[in-house]
Amino acid sequence: MPNWKDDVEIVVDEGKISVPYSWTVGSTLSRFYCELRDNGKIWGNRCPSCGKVFVPPKIKCIDCYEDLHDWVMLPGTGTVETYTVVRYQEPVLHPRKAPFVYGVIKMDGADTGLVHFIGGVDPEEVKVGMRVEAVIEGEREGNILDIKHFRPIK
Ligand SMILES: [Zn+2]
């Protein structure tokens, strides 16, 4: 029996799809997002055992496995630990138009890095160690994009 694949060149067409979805972020991140949306404040939480402060907050300490109930309001400032400049457009995955900068910001008062945009600066001028501050959106929806980006402190 002949195989149809023997008579044709196999062509592969690659594509991408956007799949809308929703899920609950749980009680800890819900509180984090509600404080961000309602008050424009960034909160972390502290481990009662080792004292490490997490932002975004976690349910349990990743080192001690203690429940984290001690909330800490952060000042919204921090330091760029690392970054990358995104130079291509990816309409499905990127919420911003390229070029833009993703950075890991170690916020003052926290022990963990927060991944977010670095803006208000030419991408070529971003540096590790740069001091930055959060720019909070005026119209907020209760998600991480309520922080517009982190910009250099002048
Ligand atoms: Zn701990």
* Residue 131 belongs to some domain of the structure: yes
Domain with 83 in it: 25-152
Q: Which of 123, 50, 23, 25 is nearest to 83 (CA)?
A: 123
For ligand 1, the distance from its centroid to the CA atom of residue 68, given in whole angstroms, is: 9
CA 60 to centroid of ligand 1, rounded, Å: 8
- 75-100 confidence digits (pLDDT tens): 999 999 999 999 998 777 778 889 99
Domain assignment present for 83:
yes
14 falls within a domain: no
Nearest-CA neighbor of 122 among 94, 70, 83, 65?
83
Q: What is the pTM of this model?
A: 0.84
User: Could you tell me if 133 and 80 are in contact, meaning their C-beta atoms sit under 8 angstroms apart?
Assistant: no
pLDDT tens column, 21-53: 888 999 999 999 999 999 999 999 999 999 999
Number of domains composing the chain: 1
Residue 137 is assigned to a structural domain of this protein? yes
